[in-house]
Amino acid sequence: MFIFKSAVLLHSELTRLQKNGRSIGFVPTMGALHQGHLSLLERAKAENDTVVCSIFVNPKQFDDEMDLVNYPDPIQTDIEYLRELNLDYLFHPDVDQVYGPDYVDIDVPLNGLDLVFEGEQRPGHFQGVAKVIRRFFDIVQPTRAYFGQKDFQQTVVVRHLIQHFGLNTDLVVCPIVREHHGLAMSSRNERLEASKRERASFIYKSLLKLKERCYFKSLGEALEITTNYLQSIEDANLEYLVCVNGVTMQEVKSLDDADYIVACTVVEFGGVRLLDNIVLKDNLNNP
Ligand code: PAF
């Protein structure tokens, strides 16, 4: 595995490969790699000639300074993990390689996608994500870029970015990887006590029930039953449960309102904010 710290050198190496007709799969991460990342990397390996993973804790997407300072940084473990996977390239830049003196820090037009739901909770977060992804796409010029469905709103932002700038990259959204009991995998799960981690599977189970119900009840009724259930769980605090158009993040009232509909939720449980979602309808990607 080749490790690059320099954006210019990585760019010229990948340009050389592309000129030789090789496809490039790109998996951006902030490190602390887990099974979820592994699934993205394996898919990228299966679908491309060359795979690049980035590990960069992007300061622009943290609205809370302390979160950035406390972000885990197990870089040596991550490097070993990637070596075992036989990864081709790791991009592990310092901040000045990504946002150097020539970097022009202007907002990416996101049509308000950055202001709702997770964006409302974390002002500036999706602008920060869009800026770093735009910059990485310039450096890597990937044929395909891999993102987990777990951070659904992030995938919507990236799809918009690709369309807005007319980029020549295919977005590949990979299914959520779950623990054996159903909790969506996330580095945040480490903060949950073992007993709570298993109990937290109620979130996924309730999303499955919602999906089942919305085919024989109206979406509104199905949503109300699931909302009431989630609100009744001891120690849990339901932040939101919404059904959205998976392209615009606008709330929908019925399954007829859009071709791509996703139910997204955030539940605070055992002191940890747990995100999850389920696709209710997808005539866009699977017509
Ligand atoms: O999902 C993440 O880990 C980050 O938001 C990403 C996509 C690597 C951008 O910094």
Summarize pLDDT for 231-243 with one digit per residue, the tens. Answer: 999 999 999 999 9
Q: Is the dihedral of CA 117, 123, 127, 130 positive or negative?
A: negative
Q: Average pLDDT of 148-166?
A: 98
Residue nearest to atom 3 of ligand 1 (CA): 29
Q: What pLDDT band is residue 50 in, cutting at 50, 70 and 90?
A: very high
- Specify whether domain 187-280 bears CATH 3.40.50.720: no
Q: Where are the beta strands (DSSP E) in 56-156?
A: 89-91, 144-148
- Is the sign of the CA dihedral 96, 102, 106, 109 positive or negative? negative
- What's the pLDDT at 235? 93
CB atoms within 10 A of CB 61: 21
Is the pLDDT confidence value at 28 over 90?
yes
- Prediction pTM value: 0.97
Catalytic entry in 37, 92, 125, 180: 37
Annotated domain spans of the chain: 2-174, 187-280
Look at residue 287 and tell me whether its pLDDT is greater than 80. Answer: no
Reply yes or no on whether the pLDDT at 286 is more than 90. no
Residue 42: closest CA among 11, 81, 13? 81
Res. 176: pLDDT tops 80:
yes
Q: Sort strands 50-55 and 89-91 into parallel, antiparallel or unpaired.
A: parallel
Task: Calculate mean pLDDT across residues 274-278.
Answer: 98
Q: Exposed/middle/buried for 229, CB within 10 Å: 0-12, 13-18, 19+?
A: middle
Query: How many Å lie between the centroid of ligand 1 and the Cα of residue 256?
Result: 32
For residue 266, the model assigns a pLDDT of: 98
The predicted model gives 179-195 an average pLDDT of: 90
Question: Among 26, 27, 29, which is best to mutate for testing ligand 1, by the most ligand atoms less than 8 A from CB?
Answer: 29
User: How far, in Å, from the CA of 30 to the mean position of ligand 1?
Assistant: 6
Task: Answer yes or no: 37 catalytic.
Answer: yes
pLDDT for residue 177 = 97
pLDDT tens figures, 101-141: 999 999 999 999 999 999 999 999 999 999 999 999 999 99
Residues in contact with ligand 1 (CB, 6 Å cut-off): 28-30, 58, 61, 129, 132, 151, 154
Tell me whether residue 112 is exposed, middle or buried, using C-beta atoms within 10 angstroms of its C-beta: 0 to 12, 13 to 18, 19 or more: exposed
| Residue 187 pLDDT level (bands cut at 50, 70, 90) | confident
Please write the tens of the pLDDT for every residue from 220-272: 999 999 999 999 999 999 999 999 999 999 999 999 999 999 999 999 999 99
Strand 272-282 with 260-269, pairing:
antiparallel
Mutate which of 136, 154, 157, 275 for ligand 1 pocket (most atoms within 8 A of beta carbon): 154
Give the C-alpha separation, 264 to 119, whole Å: 13
Token couple for 259:
């071709």
How far apart CA 243 and CA 254 sit, in angstroms, is 9
pLDDT beyond 90 at 44: yes
CATH number corresponding to 2-174: 3.40.50.620
Q: How far, in Å, from the CA of 155 to the mean position of ligand 1?
A: 10
Rounded to an integer, the average pLDDT of 177-196 is: 91
Q: How far apart are CA 215 and CA 156, in angstroms?
A: 25
